A and B are shown apart, each in its own frame.
Chain A
């Protein structure tokens, strides 16, 4: 078990700053995700941690040891690659044993640890197969076993699930997470898939423009996004136009349609117009006469476990998700009421704005 710290880590390619001053502490045994769209710097950050790319400035510290200028082969990082990067000319056992062989682990011990790693990913019996003879899911498991077999200080996962189909991906999320918990290994996952980040992580670092936009538990990041970017990147968000009615320092009363609520607003918020966010699952449908707002059902989509409604209102198009309880609440074209609780409305309270 190891802890990892990134200090003011930056990477520039000529005039392009891929990563700008990332500070991050990953605790022992923690599963942390770097979540963001392509080009946000998450992969470059991971490659600097693995030692494939030297940082322009800043440092990488594991258990108090500065690794910044250490060659990748001396870092003890287990890396699982997007393409798996299995060695096609070696069979499964040779692939998994390669890292141990490099560490001059004695033969019997090596064989035992390869078997142990294979059992861990439930692939016992496939030792003699070549990567070309394995399915996508099996290759992924070999890649994980190969990285874990060296008992790395930190496990680095570079979009490892993106080549799997949706069902397999869901299964691997559960399996990899429980494996990581059981081994108590520190892990960093790079992903652009918000569901993956939320289901697997202890904490999520939302990245944009080479920096961390928000760091927190999945629930914190989802419920209290620190920026418009974070709120729109994790799940769907309805954006309503609100108006500041009164304000004392950073405490303000904001009016949205017929309701008003008290909230903290950013110091640099000078105009009275303010964007108000509300998640689709926090909006409720009801009869038109008892609701906060009336609207017309424009589109209705059935997702099996839930419904998605797009409702046309005077505040704009609102998306609402409803659990499927077996009854149909409204037909397309019908007029319906929309309500919400004031505590579910959010404004971006920090000064950091989206990129």
Chain B
């Protein structure tokens, strides 16, 4: 790319970026800073937002078992979603890679296309499927696997199932990108040297797909940890996660400073996880994939 860039006029790139930059500074950077400031404001149940500043909101979140539990529950939920996405997404991507181009194209649309369909619509479909009279319970009982309808709607299990459905495409995309860098003959090479299909996958394919799996996992984890609509509809009041708690602080308790503090912590956790994991992936696989 070095040859396709030039340095004729110094100001030109900034001039070209000016509209985007102005929009982002005015309407993204400033609101985020204002939110950060708000998170330090004191709050009084009677009189609302106070003009004094302090770490009170953060202390409340970190020390109060209620909020700590919500953060831990959200982290656990995101971790479960991430793991299931890996277990489903990695084999599926391998299968897609082996398909004939026509079929591959078709199933790419089937698996990735839902990304473009509103998450509310997809969640609505699941709420029909997961109800106690829903399709899943009907099938399970029909097969004699369960006697009583199991609670899927308004349960953590249900939220995890639906979030997996919502974010699985991101895992497939990440693994697919990693697979594109693979030598197409490498699987044959391993087989010809005496490795069976399973050994070939474990020793040869998996280590090379690892960077892709990890970057997919980062995306899925970050999105799942901050998802709102799905936990709100499927989990309801019973399964509170960070995002729904945030909403309640703003619209039910009207404790904006506390809500802002939760938002800041969520954002920090998100950035820490994304940047931290990216560093790890880069360092760990740098030499091998130079």
Contact = CB atoms under 8 A, between A and B. Distances in A.
**Do A and B interact directly, with beta carbons closer than 8 Å?**
yes
B289 A88 contact: yes
A89 interface: yes
Contact of B288 (A52, A82, A84, A132): A132
A130 B188 contact: no
Contacts of B62: none
Nearest to B188: A52
A50 B192 contact: yes
Given A50-B188, A81-B185, A82-B185, A102 B193 contact: yes
30 contacts: A51-B191, A52-B192, A71-B196, A72-B188, A72-B192, A73-B191, A73-B193, A73-B194, A73-B196, A75-B192, A76-B194, A77-B192, A79-B188, A79-B189, A79-B192, A81-B188, A81-B189, A82-B185, A83-B184, A87-B186, A87-B204, A87-B208, A88-B288, A98-B193, A99-B193, A102-B194, A132-B288, A132-B290, A146-B189, A150-B193
A183 interface: no
A89 B190 CA distance: 13
A88 B204 CA distance: 9
A85 B288 contact: no
Contacts of B195: 73, 98, 102
A78 interface: yes
A130 B287 contact: yes
Interface in A122-141: 130, 132-133
Interface string A271-285: 000000000000000
A82 B186 CA distance: 11
Given A83-B185, A85-B189, A99 B207 contact: no
| Interface residues on chain A, size class | 20 to 34
Contacts of A156: 192
Nearest to A156: B192
* Residue with the greatest number of chain B CB neighbours at <10 A, chosen from A47, A71, A88, A156: A88
Q: Quick one: which of B183, B188, B194 has the most chain A CB within 10 A?
A: B194
A159 B75 CA distance: 51
Interface string A37-73: 0000000000100111000000000000000000111
Interface residues of B, number: 22
Nearest to A94: B203
Contacts, number: 80
Interface string A134-177: 00000000000011001000001000000000000000000000
Interface in B207-228: 207-208
A102 B199 contact: yes
Given A88-B289, A132-B288, A146 B207 contact: no
B178 to A, nearest CB: 12
Interface in B248-290: 287-290
A133 B290 contact: yes
Given A79-B189, A81-B185, A150 B289 contact: no
Contacts of A98: 190, 193, 195, 203
Given A72-B188, A85-B188, 7 more contacts: A50-B188, A81-B185, A83-B183, A86-B189, A89-B207, A99-B193, A102-B199
A103 interface: yes
B50 to A, nearest CB: 57
Contacts of B289: 88, 132
Contacts of A78: 192
A6 to B, nearest CB: 18
A73 B203 CA distance: 14
A150 B189 contact: no
